[in-house]
């Protein structure tokens, strides 16, 4: 019976050995990942700072404004309206007034609504200019109510609020207890009376003296103020043209050199003055 062969398998020591995989510690791998993350953050910060410096250079900062086709709207009013959106932050770290970052469309809409315009267009001009072109609603009167001033069109509708009187417009001083709501300040019938007085005065008197203000009280008690001091009492329920003709007759008699407070033309051909 053959004997068993004993072996200690020492021959295996002479065979090629597989490399032993060295396990890195958890802390070593975590440290390496953290270092890579820090380096990435640093590069991102540097890139952001570089982009910010490019977009914020003074050469590309919009700080010039040109206003075209305006009649009543002033450059100062437009500048004030656009100041806040131009200096507002964009993407947290930029300003909206950079030429490449600015979108002019919202600015056009802002002006259109704020000043009640028919048209408003804002265009960028490289590198630092905005061109604003507007089309205003045609104004004929300044409506004064409670120390506030508003431009009105020929139909008695509100255009927009203004900050100061302008002598190229007839002033409508409204002392009525009634407070209009909405954009229509005067009814079509009331507006027709105002326009008839405004146009009739110009046609008959050739603006000498000049009509500068109509004072409107309750029950439409009207007083027409001139640029030389006196005012005219007129009845809007009677023929406006006839009353203005009587006024012209009196003025042709050169009574304006007298110290006159008012002329009353409400009683037909009987004209009173004081």
Q: Which domain holds residue 95?
A: 58-135
Q: Are 190 and 101 in a shared domain?
A: no
Q: Which of 11-15, 23-27, 184-188, 248-252 has the highest mean predicted lDDT (pLDDT)?
A: 184-188
Q: Which of 81, 109, 135 is the last residue of a domain?
A: 135
Q: Are residues 147 and 63 in the same domain?
A: no
Rounded Cα distance between 168 and 138, Å, is 13
Our measurement of the distance from residue 126's CA atom to the centroid of its chain's CA atoms, rounded to an integer in Å, reads: 23
State whether 101 and 185 are in the same domain: no
In a domain, 52, yes or no: no
Residue 68, C-beta contacts closer than 8 angstroms, at least 6 positions apart = 131, 132, 133, 134
| Domain CATH for 104 | 3.10.20.310
CA-to-CA distance for 227 and 243, rounded, in angstroms?
Answer: 19
Looking at the structure of the chain, the number of domains it has is 2
Q: Which long-range contacts (CB under 8 A, 24 or more apart) does 108-116 make?
A: 110/81, 110/82, 110/85, 111/78, 111/81, 111/82, 114/81, 115/73, 115/77, 115/81, 115/160, 116/158, 116/159, 116/160
Give yes or no for residue 194 having a pLDDT over 80: yes
Point out which residues pair with 122 in neighbouring strands.
132
Is the same domain home to 205 and 94? no
Evaluate whether residue 174 is within a structural domain: yes
Question: Domain containing 219 — which CATH number?
Answer: 3.40.50
User: Between residues 60 and 197, which one has the greater pLDDT?
Assistant: 197
Indicate whether 56 pLDDT > 70.
Answer: no
Query: Looking at the domain assignment, is residue 23 inside a domain?
Result: no
**Confidence band for 130, pLDDT divided at 50, 70 and 90:** very high
Regarding whether 115 and 158 lie in a shared domain, the answer is no
> Which one is predicted more confidently, 13 or 87?
87
Q: Report d(CA 72, CA 60) in Å as an integer.
A: 31
Q: Is residue 15 over pLDDT 60?
A: no
The whole-number pLDDT of residue 32 equals 72
Report percent pLDDT > 70 for the chain. Answer: 79
- Domain co-membership, 188 together with 109: no
Specify whether the CB–CB gap between 130 and 108 falls below 8 A.
Answer: no
Q: What is the pLDDT at residue 171?
A: 97
Question: Which residue among 75, 100, 135 closes a domain?
Answer: 135
Q: Which of 90, 111, 135 is the last residue of a domain?
A: 135
Give residue 216's pLDDT.
Answer: 97
Residues 207, 263 within the same domain = yes
Dihedral sign, Cα of residue 21, residue 25, residue 30, residue 35: negative
Give the pair of three-digit tokens for residue 214.
């109509």
- pLDDT of res. 91: 58
Quick check: is 242 in a domain?
yes
* pLDDT at position 51 over 80: no
Core vs surface per residue 12-25: b (16+ CB within 10 A) or e = eeeeeeeeeeeeee
Determine the Cα–Cα distance for residues 183 and 113; give it in Å rounded to an integer.
Answer: 14
Once rounded to an integer, what is the mean pLDDT over residues 206-218? 93
The per-residue pLDDT for range 144-179, each reduced to its tens digit, is: 999 899 999 989 999 999 999 999 999 999 999 998
* Residues 37, 40: Cα–Cα separation, whole Å: 5
Mean pLDDT on 131-143: 95
């Amino acid at each position: 019976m053959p004997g068993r062969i004993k072996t200690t398998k020492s021959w295996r020591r002479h065979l090629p050995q597989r490399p032993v995989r060295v396990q890195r510690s958890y802390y070593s791998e975590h440290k390496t990942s953290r270092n890579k993350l820090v380096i990435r953050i640093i590069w991102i910060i540097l890139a952001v700072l570089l982009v910010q410096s490019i977009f914020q250079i003074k050469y590309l900062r919009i700080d010039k404004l040109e206003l075209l086709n305006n009649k009543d709207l002033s450059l100062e009013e437009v500048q004030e309206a656009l100041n806040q959106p131009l200096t507002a932050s964009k993407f947290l770290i930029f300003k909206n007034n950079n030429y490449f970052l600015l979108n002019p469309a919202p600015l056009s809409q802002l002006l259109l609504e704020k000043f009640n315009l028919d048209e408003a267009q804002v265009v960028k001009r490289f590198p630092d200019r905005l061109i604003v072109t507007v089309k205003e609603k045609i104004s004929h009167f300044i409506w004064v109510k409670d120390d506030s001033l508003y431009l009105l069109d020929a139909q008695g509708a509100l255009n927009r609020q203004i900050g100061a009187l302008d002598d190229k417009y007839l002033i409508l001083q409204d002392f009525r207890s009634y407070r209009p709501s909405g954009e229509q300040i005067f009814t079509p019938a009331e507006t027709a009376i105002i326009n008839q007085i405004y146009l009739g005065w110009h046609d008959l008197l050739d603006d000498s003296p000049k009509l500068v203000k109509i004072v409107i009280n309750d029950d439409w008690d009207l007083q027409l103020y001139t640029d030389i001091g006196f005012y005219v009492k007129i009845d809007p329920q009677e023929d406006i043209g006839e009353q203005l003709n009587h006024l012209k007759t009196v003025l042709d008699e050169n009574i304006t050199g007298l110290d006159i407070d008012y002329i009353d033309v409400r009683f037909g051909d009987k004209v009173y003055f004081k």
